[in-house]
Amino acid sequence: MGKSGEDIGVVAGLVRASFLVNAVYAESAREYGLTVQQGQLLCVLMGRPYGMGDLGATLGLEKSSLTGLADRAVRRGLVRREPDPDDRRAVQVVLTAEGRTLAEDFYAATCRRVDELAAGLTGQDRERLATLLGTVVRENEVPTVFLDVVAR
């Protein structure tokens, strides 16, 4: 395979791109003293509080794994559990002030790093890539695990 990437197909391109983004995400998480899963949790909660069931479905985690992740984030003071206003038997996971600050810093740094991955593309190519990826994401009903940003 050539280095230019012109000779790879959709499958290889998507898989390799996901590895590339995951590596950048993991590097950001390490620099902020987070695990990848903690970083994902914080980014998801930036949008709104989540009930445990919805949060597990969004993050793709089983109940026991999510409970452990939430427990560790509570101990670090990043999130808190609050009663769900719509279901008094349930709780929502909410960012604390400290968690929101960390989430916003981590999110901004990660966005910059991911945006740099496409630095070699023209503005028109970036727009086309965003459109194509948006179509793939929508058609596969990918949950919002990272807020949408328009990179500048």
- Report how far Cα 91 is from the mean position of its chain's Cα atoms: 22
pLDDT per position as a tens digit, 80-122: 999 988 888 889 999 999 999 999 999 999 999 999 999 999 9
Q: Which residue has the tokens 């050539």?
A: 2
78: Cα within 13 Å, side-chain hemisphere: 22
- Domain at 10-112, CATH from 3.30.379.10, 2.160.10.10, 1.10.10.10, 3.40.50.300: 1.10.10.10
User: Which DSSP category does 121 fall into?
Assistant: S
For the chain, what is the mean pLDDT? 90
pLDDT at 144: 75
pTM of the predicted structure, to 2 decimals: 0.84
How far is residue 101's CA from residue 76's CA, in Å, rounded to a whole number?
13
- Sequence-ordered list of residues with C-beta below 8 angstroms from that of 150, at least 6 positions apart, any chain: none
Position 4 scores a pLDDT of 55
- Domain spans of the chain, in order of start: 10-112
Mean pLDDT for the stretch of residues 61-65: 92
